[in-house]
Structure 1
Amino acid sequence: MGSAATGFVKNNKKVTWKEFARMLAVLAVPIAMQNLLATTASMVDTIMIGSEGEIAVAAVGVCAQIGSLLFSTYWGFVSCSLLFMSQYWGAKDPEGMNKAFGLAIICAGIFGIAFAVVTVAAPGWILGIYTDKVEIIALAKPYMRIVGWSYPLQVFAAIITALLKSTERVKVPLVCSVISLLLNFCINFVLIYGKFGAPKMGVAGAAIGTLVSGIVNIALLILYLAKSRHEIKFSARKAFDIDMGFVKSYASKAFPIVCNEILYGVGQMIINVVMGHQSDSAIAAMAAFRVCEGFVYAFFGGLANASSVAVGNEVGAGNLDRGLSYAKRAALVCPAITFTIVLITMLLHNPLFGLFGLGAEAMMYTKYMLIIYLFFGAVRTCCYIQNECFRAGGEAIVGTVMEISGLMLFSVPATWVAGMVLKLPFLAVFSFVYTDELLRFVILTPYLLKGRWIKPMTGPGRAALDEFRGRMKRNKHRAR
């Protein structure tokens, strides 16, 4: 990374715990805080609409599930751009970074615009896929018509944030998120409840708050990108200058990652369809649980993003042993953090979930959902961060095959049969959602330790690859 960077790339082979802690402080904490604020924005809508009753909470929750499907479609391009940009940042290649950024904007933008068109033009149709509850659909339709306009903004903001993360400028997205969250809260307060002479709009008011805050967030990010004097500057000419050789290289990595995210989103959509056909209390409980699950993701997602940047930087710079070392430490620390957060949430169950205006049955559901998630969440986190590190190291296929095959062959069929065929009680249905995680954990952990996923795309990384692989083979023989 050189002297101009913040100093994660070093010559020594292993990453010390002190260095790992520094990476957490410099990269992971700001990213986690930004993720937390993004989750808080969703929570603000859900909590503030709680005064309108469980049906309103369920309506916002169903809309959030559609937003999650969008996230799955564009996150593949975000992940791929992080893969390329972090390695190019380690190799000090601004031209490569700009090309990766431009392709991500074009590809992900297509999905964002397509989702906007569908949700704005036919909200009833897409909501009908997720739930058969007429009351929920009626409340959710005006929300979707407004929030749909924000989808392209979310996509472009995510790509810009990926560029900033890969160059270790993590404080800027955090500040932008704080400003947009405060604005979202203020608009929600005025329009949901009809304060200061404004009309009382309920669910639609929450949607307006989300849209306006999204506009402000992307505007601030673009303004910073235009004014930044960082050594890696955005160049529209370089970003959108189509180089077919680079497009082929990008596509070879992006295709499995994008397929991973889209198929994962489809699998989650099927699971959400099952949940959308449960009782009103179960749907409301699921909406509240998803918000709290988002808080957990904020922390482990921040660590995963930071670790992938650190791994990509080291691999791109040719320090392959250090890239492997970062990945090992992250796979150990991240599940422990997840377990701790879920445990604290369990202990604070009543005051936390009481904010959502849930009834007694829904509150009971959330309690036992957390107990189930306490174990599976930690395992899931480990699998997630391993896949992120694989991608940062240049391997985009193994994690994809494991995640999608586990989801489609185990979790989705089991959940569907339990909920739609056998009509089991809600908590029994929910327990099948994470059935694939243990299998993935058992297979992916040895693969992580062997380091075969390190496949550099930069000159310095490729130059160090043969020596690294030879050293890993010798270590394997010694272990025997």
Structure 2
Amino acid sequence: MLQSLFAVLGSIITTLMTGQLGDVPLAAAGLANQMYFILSLAQFGIGSGSSIFTAQYWGKNDKESIYKVMGVCLMLGILIGLVFMSVAVFIPQIFLDIFTSDQEVIGLGIKVLKIVGFSFLLTPITNSYYMVLRSTGNVRLPMVVSSSSVIMNSILGYALIFGKLGAPALGVMGAAYANLIARMLEFALILWMVYYLKTPLAVKPSHMITFDKVFLKKILDRVLPVTMNELLWAVGISAYSAIYAHINTESIAAMNIRASIEDLMFVPFLGVTHACAIIIGNAIGSGSEEKSHSYIRQGVRIIFIMAVGLGSLLVFGRNFIASLYNITDLTALYTRNLLFVLGIFLWLRTVNTFYFIAMLRSGGDTRFAYFADVGSMWLVGVPSALLGAFVFKLPVYYVYALAMLDEGVKFFLFIWRYRSNRWIHNLVHD
């Protein structure tokens, strides 16, 4: 929870600082960040799929297999990182043209991507260590390293955006340089700490690539559906962003603010969700399936109560939040209404996230999770948003509310799957 909190606070601080530069820099930074968003979800898919095995192998006390899973996770992460780095550095305009036709926003976004793109190769490696360490019960080290990176990014961003602490004032480019430097330091620190503290992953790299074709296939059978799930979901989110961006530039800026606040709201929920995912995976791996049912029931109750409380705070505090940004009146109006919609639907989104990660993925039910999540988005959410934006010409906050319809579909699918008891798959049983 603390790791998520620091990450989100860092994102909000960067958005606040960039927001002082005006709507265009804020929109450019937000669109450039879409590529990192897709990369992080692809890596989350690889790491999440791998952590299904590491959590269950840890419950079984099979460390040798954990090393092999880590090797597969790193191999896939580096391959995807190379692809994203190449696009960001060499052909960024092709990516940005998908979202907007505003040439001023695109021009600034290209400059940002050509800087931060070099970090896209390091991030998958860093996140692989985070995911596998957490699923073996070591949650403190990822939190300390990630939080240190966020603090460094915020300090460097303040200095380089506004020309403070003896640094030049580079505006939105300063935020990009700060991000790159912080990612490089984060990468170096996690590698050093893993071996210095003699964690379970402190083994020779050659020890991680001892897997054979049978083992690789076993991992890929679960990892690939999760990764494709995250990629198609990321493409869906990017489709939403493109829809919002084509409404007007103010919509892009307002949605960027909404996204940073939503990330903050999700901090406690992700903490509970990932903690439960680890203990549910451990329980299944050790053969205690009834415990996993109990953990899910308790987790859902906790998530729902938290969501109602925080959603209410968001609804009543939306005017104050919008006033923190140096934005136009129209952007402020969009922001307030978007936060209202988010507050109303917060319970639904967080409960669905819990079922998706803590139940389906920890239970190894990755194929059902894939079809339920991606199917709901592309068959219900995206078409609804397209109709709202381009047929009915609705404001961005109504389009955002229509996009939430897919959450209702997923909720009923997840409830049905839980009651069917077909979500439990012991993947490490001999």
TM-score range, shorter chain: over 0.9
Between 1:205-214 and 1:69-78, the stretch displaced more is 69-78
Amino acid aligned to 1:393: G
The CA distance in 1 between the partners of 2:108 and 2:195, in whole Å, is 40
Q: Do 2:311 and 2:344's aligned partners in 1 also have CA atoms closer than 8 Å?
A: no
Matched, 1:394 2:364: yes
2:377 to 375, 383, 407: 407
Amino acid aligned to 1:382: V
The CA distance in 2 between the partners of 1:73 and 1:448, in whole Å, is 26
Deviations 1:140-168 (A, max 9, x none): 22111111111222211111001110111
Amino acid aligned to 1:97: I
The CA distance in 2 between the partners of 1:101 and 1:356, in whole Å, is 42
Give the secondary-structure state (helix, strand or coil) at the position aligned to 2:121: helix
2:110 to 141, 151, 171: 141
The residue that corresponds to 1:105 in the other structure is 74
The residue that corresponds to 1:258 in the other structure is 227
Query: Alpha carbon RMSD of aligned pairs, Å?
Result: 1.7
The residue that corresponds to 1:455 in the other structure is 425
The residue that corresponds to 2:285 in the other structure is 316
Q: Measured at CA, do residues 169 and 41 of structure 1 come closer, stay the same or move farther in structure 2, by a change above 3 Å?
A: same
Matched, 1:437 2:410: no
Q: Do 2:89 and 2:114's aligned partners in 1 also have CA atoms closer than 8 Å?
A: yes
Q: Do 2:47 and 2:132's aligned partners in 1 also have CA atoms closer than 8 Å?
A: no
Amino acid aligned to 2:301: L
The residue that corresponds to 1:278 in the other structure is 247
Matched, 1:64 2:29: no
Matched, 1:419 2:384: no
Alignment of 1:188-203 (within 5 A): 188-203=157-172
2:186 to 217, 234, 247: 217
Deviation of 1:202 after TM superposition, in Å, equals 0.4
Alignment of 1:129-208 (within 5 A): 129-208=98-177
Q: Do 1:316 and 1:458's aligned partners in 2 also have CA atoms closer than 8 Å?
A: yes
Q: Measured at CA, do residues 168 and 361 of structure 1 come closer, stay the same or move farther in structure 2, by a change above 3 Å?
A: same
TM-score, with structure 2 as normaliser: 0.95
The residue that corresponds to 2:8 in the other structure is 39
Give the secondary-structure state (helix, strand or coil) at the position aligned to 1:436: helix
The CA distance in 2 between the partners of 1:71 and 1:54, in whole Å, is 25
Bigger radius of gyration, 1 or 2? 1
Deviation of 1:424 after TM superposition, in Å, equals 2.2
2:333 to 355, 364, 367: 364
The residue that corresponds to 1:13 in the other structure is none
Deviations 1:185-231 (A, max 9, x none): 22112111122443211011001111111111121111111122345
Give the secondary-structure state (helix, strand or coil) at the position aligned to 1:355: coil
Give the secondary-structure state (helix, strand or coil) at the position aligned to 1:129: coil
Q: Measured at CA, do residues 234 and 384 of structure 1 come closer, stay the same or move farther in structure 2, by a change above 3 Å?
A: farther
Deviations 1:274-314 (A, max 9, x none): 01112222211111001011112222222221111110011
Deviation of 1:315 after TM superposition, in Å, equals 0.5
Give the secondary-structure state (helix, strand or coil) at the position aligned to 1:38: helix
Q: Measured at CA, do residues 426 and 229 of structure 1 come closer, stay the same or move farther in structure 2, by a change above 3 Å?
A: closer
Unaligned runs of 5+ residues in structure 1 are 1-31, 463-480
Q: Do 1:46 and 1:356's aligned partners in 2 also have CA atoms closer than 8 Å?
A: no
Amino acid aligned to 1:406: S
1:298 to 263, 267, 283: 267
Q: Do 1:88 and 1:316's aligned partners in 2 also have CA atoms closer than 8 Å?
A: yes
The CA distance in 2 between the partners of 1:52 and 1:233, in whole Å, is 44
Q: Measured at CA, do residues 43 and 400 of structure 1 come closer, stay the same or move farther in structure 2, by a change above 3 Å?
A: same
The CA distance in 2 between the partners of 1:342 and 1:409, in whole Å, is 27
Between 1:328-337 and 1:89-98, the stretch displaced more is 328-337
Q: Measured at CA, do residues 354 and 156 of structure 1 come closer, stay the same or move farther in structure 2, by a change above 3 Å?
A: farther
Deviations 1:249-290 (A, max 9, x none): 111111221121111111111111101112222211111001
Q: Do 1:369 and 1:430's aligned partners in 2 also have CA atoms closer than 8 Å?
A: yes
Q: Do 2:116 and 2:176's aligned partners in 1 also have CA atoms closer than 8 Å?
A: yes
The CA distance in 2 between the partners of 1:385 and 1:355, in whole Å, is 31
Deviation of 1:232 after TM superposition, in Å, equals 6.0
The CA distance in 2 between the partners of 1:255 and 1:182, in whole Å, is 34
Count of residue correspondences: 429
Deviation of 1:136 after TM superposition, in Å, equals 1.3
The residue that corresponds to 1:5 in the other structure is none
The CA distance in 2 between the partners of 1:231 and 1:151, in whole Å, is 26
The residue that corresponds to 1:16 in the other structure is none
Identity %: 27
Deviation of 1:91 after TM superposition, in Å, equals 0.5
Deviation of 1:237 after TM superposition, in Å, equals 2.4
Amino acid aligned to 2:167: A
Deviation of 1:386 after TM superposition, in Å, equals 0.9
Between 1:167-176 and 1:188-197, the stretch displaced more is 188-197
The residue that corresponds to 1:123 in the other structure is 92
Q: Do 1:57 and 1:356's aligned partners in 2 also have CA atoms closer than 8 Å?
A: no
TM-score, with structure 1 as normaliser: 0.86
Deviations 1:403-431 (A, max 9, x none): 11111101011112221343222222121
Give the secondary-structure state (helix, strand or coil) at the position aligned to 2:198: coil
Give the secondary-structure state (helix, strand or coil) at the position aligned to 2:332: helix
Q: Do 2:229 and 2:373's aligned partners in 1 also have CA atoms closer than 8 Å?
A: yes
